[in-house]
Homo-oligomer: A and B are copies of this chain.
Amino acid sequence: MSILVVGSVAIDSVETPFGKGENVLGGSATYFATSASFFTGVNLVAVVGEDFPQEHIDFLTSRNIDLSGLSRESGRTFQWKGRYGYDLNEAHTLDTQLNVFQTFRPRIPSQYADADYLILANIDPDLQLEVLEQVRSPRVTACDTMNFWISSKPEALKKVISRVDFLIINEGEARQLTGETNLVKAARAIQGIGAKNLIIKRGEYGVLFFSGSSIFAAPAYPLESVFDPTGAGDTFAGGFMGYLANTGNLSEEGIRQAIVYGSVMASFTVEDFSLNRLKSLDYGQIEARYRSFKAMTHFDAL
């Protein structure tokens, strides 16, 4: 089953204590699509400007990502500049230029309207709702968001949350959305808004998954060299949905395994700037790290 992803494609400039990436490929949909492409076919709906380099188009195409939904508009591509300190959990935005992304209105090509798997990457929740209207009867839907939409469009966001199958947000956002500092209480409150399944990302500390009264806790893979955390969350979501779409196994077990595949993919992304690590990745390495994950968390008895 292929996945439809709607989100941003960007040009990033990122500084971390370990180096710099200037004018590199970025954007939530880019990370998502590339990560998911290791597991299944991906259809991308996004916008770029006239300046968007052909090499990035070539790369996405080489990953078998269908770009018929990628529109090229006059003007410049969305640009983001950010910096990370030694605490790599928090990005400091230095500059955001929305450019062609400012007037982005996602139009879903007719051949995608029957998509079974749909991910709404971080965009305006009103646009996320418009996309949901355009996709007829998706089997699995997921969305991400950010602090900006939580404070500026809480009502539209809550509508999205109650309509998708998986909400994927980070712990700061979960606290902001609910006003609860305790994460379990925050999760229960978000379930109260209507979230059927909730994945809370905790950066280097891993992920908590809430569904009904059940909780699944997955650690992040402990890495000796983290160069650039940009895109880790989107890469996680891409691996997660990609694996679900590949197996079609929506049982609690299947979802948990998908979460671990998502964590595996995120652990690769942060090992280099931009999508560089994913460019050299192969499926054998993904499986090997999944095995390490299992070994790292196993304890049994009683």
Measured CB to CB, the residues of A under 8 A from B are 86-87, 181-185, 188, 202, 204-206, 208, 214-219, 222-226, 253, 256-257, 259-260, 287, 290-291, 294-302
Task: Say yes or no: A299-B218 contact (C-beta < 8 A), given A202-B205, A205-B205.
Answer: yes
> How many angstroms from the CA of A299 to the CA of B291 in the assembled complex?
11
A-B contact pairs, 5 of them (CB 8 A): A182-B223, A208-B222, A216-B296, A217-B296, A219-B219
Task: Say yes or no: A301-B226 contact (C-beta < 8 A), given A216-B296, A219-B206, A296-B216.
Answer: no
A64: shortest Cβ distance to chain B, in Å? Answer: 23
Task: Determine the chain B residues whose CB is within 8 A of the CB of A218 once the complex forms.
Answer: 219, 297, 299
- Which residue of B183, B184, B222, B300 contacts A215 across the interface (Cβ within 8 Å)? B222
Q: Is the CB of A188 within 8 A of B299?
A: no
A-B pairs, 9 with minimum CB distance: A217-B219, A205-B205, A256-B299, A86-B181, A184-B224, A257-B301, A184-B222, A290-B302, A217-B296
> How many angstroms from the CA of A294 to the CA of B215 in the assembled complex?
11
Task: Determine the chain B residues whose CB is within 8 A of the CB of A216 once the complex forms.
Answer: 296-297, 299
Q: Tell me the nearest residue of chain B to A206, going by C-beta.
A: B219
- Which residue of B184, B217, B297 contacts A223 across the interface (Cβ within 8 Å)? B184
Q: Tell me the nearest residue of chain B to A222, going by C-beta.
A: B184
| Highest count of chain B CB atoms <10 Å: which of A86, A182, A184, A260 | A182
> How many angstroms from the CA of A7 to the CA of B297 in the assembled complex?
31
| Highest count of chain B CB atoms <10 Å: which of A185, A215, A218, A302 | A302
Q: Is the CB of A215 within 8 A of B287?
A: no
> How many angstroms from the CA of A297 to the CA of B181 in the assembled complex?
23
